[in-house]
Amino acid sequence: MTSLSEIDLDAVVREIVAPTPDPEPTQELVDKAAAFLERRGWTMAVAGAADFASAALALARCSVSERRGIFVFGRYGSGKTAFLKAIRPLFKPALFVPLNDPEWAEVMDNELWPNWNADALKSNVMLDDLGAESAKSDYGVKRELAAEFVVRYHLRGHGRLFVSTNLAGEELAERYTARLTSRIKEMCLPLRLVGADKRMWAKGGAR
């Protein structure tokens, strides 16, 4: 009979809590993801070869994952929002929340917050530009509604979470705590875009 002292409890805990690895997509599926992005206008010519390849792989990996969405991060103007909009038709119904919209907090309160079980929790959710929103003051108490959204979705959501942000690593944890960052890592596959700012200045004006 094995005594308790002979059992590697740390190993047992790691086995229990370790997430099941997502299967890797076939090259055929990666090629199909690349073709889909091209058709949707998020092309290699626009994104650059490196980012396009990374995005196609992330999309293919997402398609074979049971529940995970994509966490896309990178510098300003790297195409994060355009990527989410490009893949949105694959994940309908997908609730798109533009966090950089000054009215987003009101929309969140009025349309989502009271109706978690009816709407948001049953949908795939895309939080665009996490970190661009302002915290809300509720009777003098600071509230991060986007963070609250992620926590509720982690506990009760039935779809996939997609997030775009200019923040990464320590910046994200500093704004929302390491606990929230950990939840996002659990729910999302990472996609880092490293290309140059696509919002370039053309001669005679911006484009």
What's the per-residue H, E or C state across 15-37? Answer: HHHCCCCCCCCCHHHHHHHHHHH
Tell the residue number behind the tokens 């009816």, with chain if given. 118
Could you tell me where the beta strands, DSSP code E, fall in 17-93?
69-74
Chain Cα centroid distance, residue 118: 22
Cα–Cα distance between 69 and 58 in angstroms, integer? 9
How high is the mean pLDDT in each 10-residue block of the chain (207 residues)?
A: 48 50 88 97 94 97 93 92 95 86 67 57 88 73 79 87 89 86 92 82 42
- Which residues 6+ apart lie within 8 Å of 118 measured at CB? none
DSSP string, 4-17: GGGS-HHHHHHHHH
Give the relative orientation of helices 27-39 and 49-64 as an angle to the nearest 10 degrees. 120
Dihedral angle over CA of 61, 121, 134, 200, nearest 10: 30
User: Pairing relation of β-strands 141-143 and 94-98?
Assistant: unpaired
* pLDDT score for 49: 96
Q: Within 94-167, where are the H helices? A: 104-107, 145-156
Instruction: Identify any residues that bridge with 199 across adjacent strands, giving them in sequence order.
Output: none
* pLDDT score for 197: 80
* Its pTM surpasses 0.85: no
Q: Is 59 exposed, middle or buried (0-12, 13-18, 19+ CB in 10 A)?
A: buried
* pLDDT score for 151: 86
For residues 133 and 122, the answer to whether their CB atoms sit within 8 Å is: no
Q: What domains are defined for the chain? A: 67-196 (3.40.50.300)
